[in-house]
């Protein structure tokens, strides 16, 4: 790994550059546009504007939103769209490339403890890695206190790609975290090995300790946090509201984005097999799509959509969409709707492509509308509702 003095100075310089870029972003013009769908005409409007590359958002109980900006800012958007100043108290963040402030989620006990969870690219000796932290949001929503890093991906690597990461709670006292394999050769090939956290889903208790029923606890040469392995770059995650199953989406290389049902101890094949090929056209690993002992994706996209964000719809505003899954598209600028039956994908619809915006995250709002974050320098959160 690279550990020169110049590399050690890089986090502060990159973070400063990212903050300066974010500060110069201008609000985009508010959007109010009617688009077609299989469920009828949709009205797409701007809910929040003035964001710089928003990465994730989460609804607060009163309808406000917590929003992360990749350059390292956490903000609250009021229900009327008014955007607050950056929240203080975040740890040091190595913002650059694909790294920065990433996912955010409310603790299952948020109503009582005001705790939020977030992921970020963490600078440290030897490089950087994805970290999971939690902290207490102040009553006026301007600061975090009692911030604790509960998990740091190992090994560190001085790179700026494939950090993952999505946070999913299982409703049973555990948190799942989907991680990237850091992209570069040869480090990406370690996703298949159990002595590291690269290209893994990890499972922790809410206090950060390791559940003793994790599949590799007590195995020599294996890290106990690991729940599943052989992933590439996880960018979407959700718990199914009826079955409780954990699902993640991950980026393939040139082809082979995946929707995966996450199973205990399962190997998802990277970088030995893939439905895609390397960016230069050469085969991935063996050149096969699957192999004995590999858990195949429930659904794959070739060409890729750049799957990011994942949500199972349970609202009443779109009755025909109940139970469907929604994934954002960074490569195709789509919001992808997947019809699901018995854990299988039975159909697909592409939405919002005419807008030409990278969709980084997707959530159903408390009003039943669907909201998406656009990964743009002049980023927005858009509201999708039936047209009157």
* pLDDT of 3 over the 70 cut: no
| pLDDT confidence of residue 30 | 84
Give catalytic status of residue 162 as yes or no. yes
Instruction: For the chain, give the percent of residues with pLDDT over 90.
Output: 92
* pLDDT of 28 over the 80 cut: no
* pLDDT of 18 over the 90 cut: no
* pLDDT of 23 over the 80 cut: no
| pLDDT confidence of residue 27 | 59
The pLDDT mean for the chain works out to 93
Count of Cβ atoms closer than 10 Å to residue 14 Cβ: 23
Nearest to 349 by CA among 361, 336, 360: 336
Mean pLDDT value of segment 13-35:
59
Residues in the chain: 388
For the entire predicted model, the pTM comes to 0.93
Which of 21-35, 66-80, 283-297 shows the lowest mean pLDDT across its residues? 21-35
Contacts of 70 (CB under 8 A, 6+ apart): 18, 52, 53, 54, 55, 95, 99, 100, 101, 102, 375
| pLDDT confidence of residue 26 | 53
- At residue 39 the predicted structure's pLDDT band, cuts being 50, 70 and 90, is very high
- At residue 388 the predicted structure's pLDDT band, cuts being 50, 70 and 90, is confident
Q: Calculate the alpha carbon distances from 258 to 247, 250, 255, 268 in Å.
A: 10, 5, 9, 10
CATH class held by domain 5-30+51-326+337-347: mainly beta
| pLDDT confidence of residue 243 | 97
Q: Calculate the alpha carbon distances from 376 to 22, 53, 176, 359, 379 in Å.
A: 11, 5, 28, 9, 4
Residue 32 contacts residue 49 (beta carbons within 8 Å): no
Contacts of 16 (CB under 8 A, 6+ apart): none
User: Catalytic residue among 162, 197, 231, 299, which?
Assistant: 162
* pLDDT of 11 over the 50 cut: no
* pLDDT of 8 over the 80 cut: no
Count of Cβ atoms closer than 10 Å to residue 9 Cβ: 10
| pLDDT confidence of residue 4 | 35
Mean pLDDT value of segment 193-222:
98
| pLDDT confidence of residue 247 | 98
Mean pLDDT value of segment 146-171:
98
Question: CB-based burial of residue 388 (10 Å sphere; 0-12 exposed, 13-18 middle, 19+ buried)?
Answer: exposed
- At residue 195 the predicted structure's pLDDT band, cuts being 50, 70 and 90, is very high
* pLDDT of 303 over the 90 cut: yes
| pLDDT confidence of residue 168 | 98
Nearest to 118 by CA among 201, 57, 204: 57
Report the DSSP beta bridge partners of residue 35.
42
Question: CB-based burial of residue 106 (10 Å sphere; 0-12 exposed, 13-18 middle, 19+ buried)?
Answer: buried
Residue 96 contacts residue 160 (beta carbons within 8 Å): yes
- Residue 302 sits at the vertex; the CA angle it makes with 299 and 304, to the nearest 5 degrees, is 95
Which of the pair, 23 or 37, is modelled with greater confidence?
A: 37
* pLDDT of 367 over the 90 cut: yes
Nearest to 100 by CA among 66, 144, 52: 52
- Residue boundaries of the structural domains of the chain: 5-30+51-326+337-347
Which of 7-21, 178-192, 227-241, 352-366 shows the lowest mean pLDDT across its residues? 7-21
Which of the pair, 357 or 388, is modelled with greater confidence?
A: 357
């Amino acid at each position: 790994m690279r550990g020169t003095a110049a590399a050690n100075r890089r986090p502060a310089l990159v973070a400063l550059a990212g903050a300066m870029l974010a500060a110069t972003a201008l609000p985009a013009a508010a959007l109010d546009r009617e688009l077609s769908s299989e469920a009828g005409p949709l009205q797409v409007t701007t809910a929040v504007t003035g964001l710089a590359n928003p990465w994730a958002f989460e609804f607060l109980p009163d309808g406000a939103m917590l929003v992360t900006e990749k350059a390292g800012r956490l903000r609250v958007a009021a229900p009327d769209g008014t955007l607050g100043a950056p929240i203080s108290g975040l740890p040091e963040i190595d913002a650059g490339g694909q790294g920065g402030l990433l996912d955010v989620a409310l603790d299952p006990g948020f109503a009582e403890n005001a705790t939020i969870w977030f992921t970020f690219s963490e600078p440290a000796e030897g490089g950087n890695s994805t970290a999971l932290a939690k902290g207490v949001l102040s009553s006026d929503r301007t600061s975090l206190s009692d911030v604790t890093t509960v998990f740091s991906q190992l090994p560190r690597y001085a790179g700026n790609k494939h950090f993952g990461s999505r946070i999913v709670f299982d409703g049973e006292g555990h948190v799942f975290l989907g991680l990237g394999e850091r992209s570069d050769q040869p480090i990406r090939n370690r996703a298949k090995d159990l002595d590291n956290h690269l290209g893994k889903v990890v499972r922790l208790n809410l206090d950060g300790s390791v559940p003793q029923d994790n599949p590799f606890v007590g195995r020599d040469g294996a890290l106990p946090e690991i729940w599943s392995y052989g992933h590439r770059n996880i960018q979407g995650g959700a718990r199914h509201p009826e079955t409780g199953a954990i699902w993640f989406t991950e980026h393939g290389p040139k082809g082979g984005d995946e929707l995966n049902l996450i199973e205990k101890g399962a190997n998802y094949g990277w970088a030995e097999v893939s439905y895609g090929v390397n960016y230069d056209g050469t085969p991935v690993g063996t050149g096969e799509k699957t192999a004995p002992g590999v858990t195949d994706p429930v659904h794959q996209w070739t060409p890729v959509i750049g799957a990011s964000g994942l949500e199972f719809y349970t609202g009443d505003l779109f009755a025909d969409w109940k139970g469907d899954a929604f994934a954002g598209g960074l490569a195709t600028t789509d919001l992808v709707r997947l019809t699901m039956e018995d854990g299988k994908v039975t159909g697909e619809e592409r939405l919002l492509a005419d807008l030409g915006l990278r969709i980084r995250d997707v959530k159903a709002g408390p009003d039943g509308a669907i909201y998406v974050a656009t990964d743009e320098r002049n980023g927005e959160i858009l509201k999708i509702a039936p047209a009157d």
